[in-house]
Each structure stands twice: as C-alpha cells, then as structure tokens.
C-alpha cells in the first residue's frame, strides 16, 4: 500500500493534464471519501495509519480498513459530502462518550489486530456512550462516519 501511494504521489504532477479533481479513499466497507485538490490534500503515514490532511480537515484511516486510493474525475463539488466538524469524543473513567455525530450513524470499535469488538449506533441527537471496562489492555480504533481515532486501554 505504501509503495502504491509513493508511486501515486510521484506521478501527481504529470497527471494534471487528465483533469482529476480529487483523491478518493476507498474503504473495505465500501465507503468512498473524496478530498478535492483545491483543498490541497496531503497524504502521510503515522504508524499503521494513513493520515490525510487538507486545508479544512484532518482524517486518520487505519491501513487495514483501506481498500485503495485513487484519483477521481467526477464533479467533486457535488460528490463530496460535507463533513460534520463538531463531533466530539471524550472519556470519563471507563466510558467513551461520542457527541455531535451524524444521527443514527454506526460506530465500530476495532482491536488493533483488525477484529471488530463492538458495533454501536448514535442516537437521534448524534450521541452514544460506550463502556470500555470489559476491554483488555491494548490499542483500539473507533470509526464513525467521517471520523476515526485510536485510543489505548491501560
């Protein structure tokens, strides 16, 4: 995956003549997230995560959740959904609280090895409470629509 990305980024200047207007991140679950070139996307790797930063947002994707990265030639203005930027994640003791997310969207909790350890759904206000007391000591990844983050359970 890293070799493909390096080759993709090296070819970026020569591909301008084909009028691509976005980088598309294809996830294993079928979701595709597009980042317009006008937002100046920058792709980097931090540990086992792909980090995509633009002038408007920063998103972190665990590599094992990605299928591929490609250029997109669709009308990006219509294809990119607005990302809700006011979602918040917080811990209080052994409880993870998510607020301000997209109402009724799914929340997945993954162990670092890629196995799903929990499936949840935000309520009508975009809120969910996840108890992590039963989890073993490790690193976990929480994924919602448009937001991914990891935490360490100690």
Q: What is the pLDDT of residues 42-83, one digit of tens each?
A: 888 888 888 888 887 788 888 888 888 887 765 444 444 544
Cβ proximity of 119 and 73 under 8 Å:
no
Q: What is the pLDDT of residues 84-116, one digit of tens each?
A: 446 778 888 889 888 888 889 999 999 888 889
- 124, pLDDT greater than 60: yes
State the pLDDT at residue 135.
92
- Of 142, 146, 145, nearest to 90 (Cα)? 142
Cβ proximity of 93 and 131 under 8 Å:
no
Q: What distances in angstroms separate CA 90 from CA 24, 99, 116, one per listed residue?
A: 29, 9, 21
pLDDT over 90 percentage in the chain: 14
Q: What is the pLDDT of residues 18-52, one digit of tens each?
A: 445 788 888 888 888 888 888 888 888 888 888 88
Cβ proximity of 142 and 107 under 8 Å:
yes
- How much is the pTM? 0.46
pLDDT tier at 1, thresholds 50, 70, 90:
low
Average pLDDT over residues 141-145: 85
- The set of residues, in sequence order, having a beta carbon less than 8 Å from that of 7 and lying 6+ positions away, is none
Cβ proximity of 20 and 71 under 8 Å:
yes
């Amino acid at each position: 995956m890293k070799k493909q990305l390096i080759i993709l980024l090296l070819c970026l200047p020569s591909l301008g003549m084909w009028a691509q207007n976005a980088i598309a991140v294809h996830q294993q679950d079928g979701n595709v997230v597009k980042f317009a070139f006008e937002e100046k996307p920058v792709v980097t790797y931090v540990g086992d995560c792909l980090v995509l930063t633009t002038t408007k947002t920063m998103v972190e994707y665990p590599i094992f959740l990605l299928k591929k990265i490609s250029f997109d030639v669709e009308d990006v203005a219509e294809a990119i959904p607005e990302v809700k930027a006011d979602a918040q994640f917080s811990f209080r003791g052994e409880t993870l609280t998510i607020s301000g997310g997209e109402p009724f969207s799914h929340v997945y909790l993954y162990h670092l090895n890629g196995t799903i350890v929990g499936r949840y759904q935000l309520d009508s206000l975009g809120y969910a409470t996840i108890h992590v007391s039963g989890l073993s000591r490790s690193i976990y990844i929480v994924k919602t629509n448009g937001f991914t983050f990891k935490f360490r359970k100690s």
